[in-house]
Amino acid sequence: MRLKGIKINGFKSFADKISLSFSNGITAIVGPNGSGKSNISDAVRWVLGEQSAKMLRGAKMEDVIFSGTQKRNPMGFAEVTLILDNSDRTFHIEFDEVEVTRKVFLSGESQYMINKSACRLKDIHEIFMDTGLGRDGYSMVGQGKIEEILSSKSDDRRQIFEEAAGISKYRYRKEEAQRK
Ligand code: ATP
Ligand code: MG
């Protein structure tokens, strides 16, 4: 599994539709303060299902929508697509490439898509579960995360290990089954 690219439209400072591709190896994003580097990692986190506006450095979810500048009108929506290499079938989907899209409108309405077909947030959480990617995965290590892991409660720490060991989906299914 590899993040091959990202398409951003109207998310935070990205008023223009942009498309970035990441080749094999390490990619570093550089730029002056305030140029939007962290907004790119926020965009990735957002598509992975982040539901906390605070984690995205905003007050409410609609704050991710480009809010305009002196020269440009605000946008009515934000849309981000992650392009993931699935040739190793990390995701149980029969395609070599998986595109996951999230869109939010000023009204607060959200849309989610997997390979351009509408889906639920729950479906996004489920495909990422145990891949180490999802919202609660360890693929995004933000500032302060290491400290948080070291000082977290043992139950929370256990969750991180369960995700790494690939067993959180079984716990999730058990809990789902017990609810029914
Ligand atoms: P640093 O080097 O300081 O970490 P950075 O490159 O990570 O900077 P970001 O935090 O990604 O910068 O970008 C901050 C910029 O994004 C600010 O100029 C802020 O005004 C802009 N921004 C954030 N949200 C929005 C929004 N909804 N609409 C327009 N601009 C936004
Ligand atoms: Mg930054």
| Ligand 1 lining (C-beta closer than 6 Å) | 12-13, 31, 33-39, 63, 65-67
Q: Tell me the per-residue pLDDT of 135-174, one tens digit each, with 9 for 90 and over.
A: 666 778 877 777 877 887 888 888 777 777 777 788 888 9
Q: Is residue 104 in a domain?
A: yes
The residue behind tokens 């598509």 is 47
Q: Tell me the per-residue pLDDT of 6-45, one tens digit each, with 9 for 90 and over.
A: 999 999 999 999 999 999 999 999 999 999 999 999 999 9
| C-alpha span between 116 and 155 (Å, rounded) | 37
| C-alpha span between 93 and 178 (Å, rounded) | 27
The overall average pLDDT reported for the chain is 90
Residues with CB under 5 A from ligand 2 (ion): 37-38
pTM over 0.90: no
More confidently predicted of 104 and 136: 104
Q: Is residue 8 in a domain?
A: yes
Q: Is the model's pLDDT at 84 over the cut of 90?
A: yes
Q: How many domains does the chain have?
A: 1
* CATH code (residue 79): 3.40.50.300
Which residue owns the Cα nearest ligand 1 atom 4?
33
Q: Is residue 129 in a domain?
A: no
Q: Is residue 54 in a domain?
A: yes
Q: Is residue 71 in a domain?
A: yes
| C-alpha span between 13 and 96 (Å, rounded) | 31
Can you list the positions of beta strands (E) in 75-156? 77-85, 97-105, 110-114, 117-119
3-state secondary structure of 38: helix
Domain holding 79, by residue range, is 2-120
